[in-house]
Every structure is written in C-alpha cells, then in structure tokens.
Structure 1
Amino acid sequence: MRSTSPKTAGGTEADGREAVVTPPSGPSGGRVDGPPENVARRSRLREPRWAALGFIAPLLAYLAIFYAYPLYRNVDLSLHDYTPRAFVMGNPEFLGLANYVDVVTSDAFGLALRNTALFTFVSIAAQYAVGLALAVFFHNNFRLSGLLRGMFLIPWLLPWIVSASTWSWMMNSENGIVNSVLESFGIGQINWLTSPDWALTSVIIANIWLGIPFNLVILYAGLQNIPKDLYEAAALDGASVWQQFWRVTFPLLRPVSAVTLLLGLIYTLKVVDVIWIMTTGGPGNSSTTLAIWSYREAFGTGQPEFSPAATVGNLLIVIALVFGFVHLYLQRRQERT
C-alpha cells in the first residue's frame, strides 16, 4: 500500500515533490465556480438581461411580422414572375432584375415619376406653408381659438375615402360647387376630373386640404416650446413681427419642421385612395403616380400583375429611404455644428 507523506506549509510534500491540490467539488461531483456570493452576484446580473429581452421581444416580433416579412415578400415578388396561377401554386419563374428593367424602361415610368414628384413636393410645400401660417395665427391666444383649431382638425379625422368622395362631388364638371362658384365670378366651366390638363391639379388640391391639419398640429406643438422671453427681448430691441418670425420662430422651429416635412413626404408618396377615387389615375395616365401604378397593376385591372406591382412598390420604398437617410445626415451635421 502506498504511504502518504506529510505536506509542508508551502504546499509540497516532505520528500520534495509538489502536492497536487484538486478544486472543491459540489454535491454532484461538478466543479464549483467560486464562493456562493459570486454565483449569486452573477445570477443577479443575468436577471436584468432576461427582463430586457422580455420587454423587447413583443416589439421585435411586431417588426418581424409586419415589416421584415412583408418587405421580404415584396422583394421576392419583384424577382419572380408571379402570375395568379403561380401565386396559388407556388412555382413562379425566377426573373432576377428583369421586372425592374421593364418598369424603368416603360413609357409610363417617366410620366408616373414626374407626376409623383409634382404631387409630392407641391402638396408638402403648400401643406407646410398653410399649416405654419395657421399655427402662428393660433399661437396668439384669442377667444374661440381652441374651437377654431378643433374645427381645422375635422379633415384629418374623417376617413380619406369620405373626403376624396366629397372632393370628387365638389369638382364635378356639371353640378359641382367649385364650378358654380367660379361661374358666379365669370369664369367658364373647368373639367377638373376629366381633363388631362386639370386632373393632377385637382388631386393635388384635395391632398393639400387633407394634409394641412397634420402640419398645423405638429407645428403648433413646436411653437409651444419656444420661450416667450425671446419674443419680448426681440420686441425690446425693435424687431417687427416679421423680423421676429424670421429671426426667432423659424430658426427655432427648424427641427420640428424637418420632421414634419419628412413625414409629409413619406405619407404623400404612398397616397392611393384620394387619387384613385377622384380620377383612378386618369384620364389616361395624366394623374398616375408610382403608388397608383402599383395599385393598378395589382388590383385595378381585373388581371393582377403582382410582380410589376411589387417592383414599383419597391422603387417607392427606395425613394423614401433615400430621403430618410438625407434627413439623418442633415440632422447629424446640424448637431455637430
């Protein structure tokens, strides 16, 4: 039998060999990581991480289901030839970028892009200008200002289908109220919805009216955050009302204005219901935008062309992303300065 040698205080055996010290083991024979207080501390650090994951999991699931997956399906539709039969059977032919080439080289693409640019930029410019003027007007509190401000929100609260139908009736060539008012001033009849020269103008007017309340609400909220002391100091320095607007109101409202214009741009790019109800993109393609073109290809002809519709929709997404990145770049540049 092997005899054991006594160990010295330095951790070596009496015969000079180094003693082998084995770490303590747990009840089941496993290795213990350290003192119990260290294990408890690490478990307490893990708890906030699991809690954070639990809170963010619903948001991640929402983004995956309603944003990531639809975007993936839209890209998949644009890269294949999804006929109604292929959409049901699930065996579409892979085309690559052929759909994008067909859309960009189409005769309708140039006109649709031009109409989209005019419809979007004229709408958001007019909505912002009128909304800012109304916000400044209501910023000066007076009697019935709250009631009038609430009445301006009515177009925003109504469903856009109802508002578009109302504008379609008002701009009717035969018995519309707009032509009746114009005739009382000696102006002849205008075919707002049936003339290629006026169709796009008519839907722009309706869209401007619908978007003014949104700009009014956001810009009015921004004006509430501007200290009144700045206006009093400017008035003491002899600044007129117009100078106070350009030197105080407009510069301090710039961040809110940037967000308002960006949201207005995104909302206007995807407007379908107003144009479709009023003109269906016609006559011809005179009021067809990229959003209307996409909707018409998918649902408007009775013979769905899902792949071209998805292709045009993806182009709209790219345009919106470009302006979004430009906004972020300008915002970061302004923060650095």
Structure 2
Amino acid sequence: MHRMTHLPDRRPVRDRDEAATAAPLPAPTARRRRRPASRQWAAWAFLFPVTVYLVLFYAYPLYRNLDLSLRHYTVRSFVQGNAPFTGLANYRTVFGDPAFGPALTHTVVFTAVCLFFQYAIGLALAAFFDQHFKLSATLRALFLLPWLLPLIVSASTWSWMLNSDSGVVNAALHVIGVGPVNWLTSPEWALTSVITANIWIGVPFNLVVLYSGLQSIPHSLYEAAALDGASAWRRFWSITFPLLRPVSAITLLLGLVYTLKVFDIIWIMTKGGPADASTTFSTWSYQLGFGNLLPAFGPGAAVGNLLVVAALVFGLVYVRIQRKQELA
C-alpha cells in the first residue's frame, strides 16, 4: 500500500522533468534554419566581386562592341552617343570589302599552322622531359622563358632577328652561302615570319600543360606494354595519345582562342603588311577602328564580333565533345 500511494506522485514529477528538458528543443531547429541562410549569404558575398568583375570587364565591353557594330558611329557620334541604328549594314560592309577574303584566309592559315606546330612540338618536348633525366627540371624552366617574356619584347626581338639588313638570321644564311631574305618586307615571307614567332611563343604553354597530363598516366601501363613487346612508337599511339586526349582537347581549345586574337605580335613585326600579306581579323579590326584618320568604328567592331563568334562556336563544340566522352 505504501508503494501504491507514492506511484501517482512520481509520474507528474517525471512528466515535468521531461517537459522541462523537451522545452529547449526548438532552439537547435531554429539554428538549423539559420545556418543554410547564412551559408547562402556567404556564398553570394564571395561571388559578388567576381560577378562585378565579369560584368564590368567582359559583359559590358561585349555589349558595347555589339552596339558599335549595329550603329553608324563617327568621331562626333561616338563622343555624343547619338549614332543612328543601321542594323546589319556594318556586317554587309565587312563581307563586301575586298580585304575580307585575304584576311579570312590569313586568319585560318595563321591559326591552323600555329596550333599544329605548337601542339606537335609541345607534345614532343613533353614526352622528352617525361624521361626524368638529369637537368630535366632546369631545361624545362628555360623553355618557359618565351612564355614569360612580355609579348612586345618577344615581337621586337624577332623583328630584329629577321631584319633584312642587320638580322642574325640573314647573317647565318650568308655564312652558308644563302642570299638575304626579306622576311618582314616581302609578301611571300611576312606571314611565315609572324607564324614562326607565334609558334615559338606558344610552345612553352603546350609543353607545360601536356607534361602535366603525362604525369597522370600510370607508368605501369608502359611497363606492361614493354613486356608484351610493344615498341616505343606503339606505346605512344596506344597508351599516351589516347589517355592524353582530354588534356589535348583543352590545350587546343585554349590555343585556338589565344591564336585567333593574336594582334601585338603581328602588329609589331609587320603591321599586317606588306600589302596586307599578313593581315588577320585582329589587325584588320584595329586598322578599321583606329588606323585611319576617319575611323570606321562600326565595321571594326563587326570584325571583332566575328572573332568572338568563332571562339564561341569552337568552345561549344568542345563542350559537346566533352559531354559525349563522359557519357561514353
């Protein structure tokens, strides 16, 4: 009977204790609700400077360039901002210009030749340095010098080397009995000269990226192939080249975008001449917009937009190829 009389008194006490301990439970739930919001604000805070940078230095210039190509701008209207809208008239002017065909041909040849030799030489050097011999790191660092030099220095150096009268290249040719070549002033050699200089500048980038790709390939694959009797050339085509394909794709895409917009090297060495023999879309756009007493801002912007569209198309092609490879 004594136990029975005290049982009803314990239950309310336990219930009060449980209620007291259960009361603070909503507080952690509120914290959980606040944490995602605070994290989201932190993410936006980190993205804000990048967004401002992209809008100011990429989106707005692209918009202004598109606006320039759709209006008839003169020096006065460029300052006052009252240029009349002309639609696609500037693009029709560009396509109908006699300089369009040669500039397009030079751009395609310049880009294709530079990409091929930069990639081929860079891949050969990457495979060579992948052997990890003595002084390998030192030589790799020396090969980076052309890439680290300012472009104005590299282009000026090549202009001096290829000078018809006092260049070291013609001096070397004279030693072996070959007459002087007008590398920069001859229509037959001007484009070849700027292509050579750009290849020399772009090889180190391909070397660095492709060498890093080679480091990710397991050497056990080469050892197994060697045990099976595969030659070095067979190992390259069956192991190195296929496994290096993703790195090669991004290397070629970045090289393509860079080569399409090369301006300073060509302008310093030949200014697009002689007789427009080395004019590309980048130099032609500059000549139209800033190279005359009466600048044609609209056609110059239209040529620049053609380069943007070309780079965008190749970028979309690369993304499509990458998605197919991921799904395969």
> What's the CA shift string for 1:4-36, capped at 9, x where partnerless?
xxxxxxxxxxxxxxxxxxxxxxxxxxxxxxx77
2:224 aligned with 1:270, yes or no?
no
Q: CA deviation at 1:192?
A: 0.8
**Relative to 1, partners in 2 of residues 1:39 and 1:148: Cα closer, same or farther, differing over 3 Å?**
closer
Render the CA deviation track for 1:165-203: whole Å, top value 9, x for unaligned: 111111111121111212222222211111111110110
Q: Is 1:61 aligned with 2:61? A: no
- Which residue number corresponds to residue 91 of structure 1? 82
Return the alpha-carbon distance in structure 2 between the equivalents of residues 162 and 45 of structure 1. Answer: 52
1:321 paired residue number: 312
Residue 235 (structure 2) pairs with residue 244 (structure 1): yes
Number of the residue aligned with 2:181: 190
Residue 129 of structure 2 is matched in structure 1 by 138
1:44-71 per-position Cα deviation (integer Å, ceiling 9, x unaligned): 3322222221121111111111111111
One of 277, 287, 290 as aligned partner of 1:286: 277
Question: How far apart, CA to CA, are the structure 2 residues paired with 1:278 and 1:68?
Answer: 31
Q: Number of residues paired by the alignment? A: 303
Residue 207 of structure 2 corresponds to: 216
- Give the match's secondary structure for 1:91: coil
Q: Which residue of 2 aligns with 1:168?
A: 159
Equivalent residue for 1:154, pick from 128, 145, 159:
145
Distance 1:244 1:290 in 2: 41
1:62-120 Cα distance to aligned partner (Å, 9 max, x none): 11111111111010111111111111111111111100111011111111000000000
| TM value normalised by structure 2 | 0.89
> One-letter code of the match for 1:257?
S
Partner of 2:94: 103
Judged with a 3 Å threshold, the aligned counterparts in structure 2 of structure 1 residues 39 and 141 are, in CA distance, closer, same or farther, namely closer
SS of the residue corresponding to residue 130 of structure 1 reads: helix
More helix by share: 2
| Inter-partner Cα distance in structure 2 for 1:42 and 1:158 | 53
CA distance in 2, matches of 1:39, 1:157: 54
Distance in 2 between residues matched to 1:140 and 1:103, nearest whole Å: 51
Q: Secondary structure at the match of 2:39?
A: helix
Q: Does 1:82 align with 2:73?
A: yes
Aligned residue in 2 for 1:177: 168
5+ residue gaps, structure 1: 1-34
| Pair 1:114-2:137 in alignment | no
Aligned counterparts of 1:41 and 1:154: Cα–Cα separation in 2? 53
Runs of 4+ in 1 over 3 A off after TM superposition: 35-45
After superposing the two structures, state which structure 1 stretch, 296-305 or 317-326, moved more: 296-305
The aligned counterpart of 2:13 is none
Asked if 1:228 is matched to 2:219, the reply is yes
Secondary structure, counterpart of 1:81 in structure 2 = coil
**Is the alpha carbon distance of 1:164 and 1:302 closer, same or farther for their aligned partners in structure 2, counting shifts above 3 Å?**
farther
Q: Which amino acid aligns with 2:81?
A: G
Query: C-alpha distance in 2, partners of 1:95/1:335?
Result: 45
In structure 2, runs of 5+ residues without a counterpart are 1-25
**AA at the equivalent of 1:189:** P
Distance 2:141 2:172 in 1: 27
TM-score between the two structures when normalised by the length of structure 1: 0.87
Matched to 1:82, the amino acid is Y
Post-superposition Cα deviations, 1:232-269, rounded to whole Å, max 9, x if no partner, equal 11111111111111111111111000000000000000
> CA-atom RMSD, angstroms?
1.4
Instruction: Give the whole-Å Cα distance in 2 for the aligned partners of 1:40 and 1:263.
Output: 46
Quote the Cα distance in structure 2 between the aligned partners of 1:269 and 1:295.
14
Q: Percent identity?
A: 62
Per-residue CA deviation, residues 112-164 of structure 1 (Å, 9 max, x unaligned), is: 00000000010010000001000100110111111111111111111111111
Q: Which amino acid aligns with 2:126?
A: A
Q: What residue is the counterpart of 1:25 in the other structure? A: none
The 2-side partners of 1:119 and 1:138 are apart by 28
**Separation in structure 2 between the aligned mates of residue 299 and residue 84 of structure 1, nearest angstrom:** 11
